[in-house]
Structure 1
């Protein structure tokens, strides 16, 4: 598994880079098919956010869904510990889910949201005066609505049709409260979301597809 460490608004020392690589070696034990682990460190310069000045995002890529965890603390070592704990917990839950999948059926949804990841580490393009739709996968485009202070951020993702069960699974892996997807059976755009406890919701769009 390749570990790639990058910094935004900050420098990465060899000492910290070595600490990251040593600590994250254990990830491969729970994710043997992982091919790459991206580690992004972002430093917040605002003194009012000193207790959360160092933010770390871990993104695990390989065969299967992307797994992501992020955390912030006053120092980068503390932020790494928090993000690492979240990542390992999500990997354990994914492993346990695979083991228990046949024993525990997924509850039927009543009225639900599942979605595409809106990661913040992709390059962004900013346009003014008009809202332009993105044309490149994974690249965020920000547009200002006329003279108003409203900024619209858009991102284009590839969408592979999936079941509600799979959408819930991928939502948990990236740690988001919602997940957007295309229903495998109905071909409808849907979003799954957390409600409360172990209940979820699904929202569907009834649209006519013109060939």
Structure 2
């Protein structure tokens, strides 16, 4: 795997690079060797944040962890990604190929760091909502989302004539999702 490491408000030291290569290198059993892994390290007051994004064959794996210690954040983000893969192993194998996500064993047993995670067998949709979409701009959509008390809002963007999604980010800011076809 190829690591692209970016620091925001932090100098990426050799120690941090080594820790990222060592810990995230454990995930190379799941991905091809030329897979790019985007790692962003950010410091905000006493919050040490690590965000990892792995685009792989049309699927984007993403995890974010915040801790008071950058090294602990790196450890946790790796665990988070590994849990995501194990939890969705069957679906991912169907999408890519059989045995794409085999867990390597040590001496015929499980790896030393193996933690069992129950795989989701099916997604259970318990409610379907239908609603009329009226054209609006992004600012109006954010206002509507806040008035409803939701974390996201689907709307028809009057500026682009496309369906978009606005959402509230963990940092309190807002995001906009614009589809590409």
Which band: TM-score by shorter chain? Answer: 0.5 to 0.7
Local SS of the residue matching 2:178: coil
Residue 109 (1) aligns with residue 137 (2): no
What pairs with 1:103-182 in structure 2 (closer than 5 Å)? Answer: 106=122, 109-112=125-128, 153-159=174-180
Q: Look up the SS of the partner of 2:59 in the other structure.
A: coil
What residue number does 2:42 align with? 42
**Residue equivalent to 1:209:** none
RMSD of equivalent CA atoms: 3.6
Distance 1:73 1:152 in 2: 20
- Would you say the 8 A contact 1:34–1:62 is kept in 2? no
1:168 maps to what in 2?
A: none
How many residues align structurally?
A: 122
Structure 2 residue aligned with 1:81: 75
C-alpha displacement of 1:41: 0.7
C-alpha distance in structure 2 between counterparts of 1:61 and 1:55, whole Å: 20
Q: 1:35 to 1:157 in 2, by over 3 A?
A: farther
Residue of structure 1 in register with 2:27 after alignment: 27
Consecutive unaligned residues in structure 1, runs of 5 or more: 114-126, 136-140, 142-150, 161-211
TM (normalized to structure 1)? 0.47
Segments of structure 2 that go 5 or more residues without pairing to the other structure are 96-119, 130-138, 144-156, 161-165, 167-171
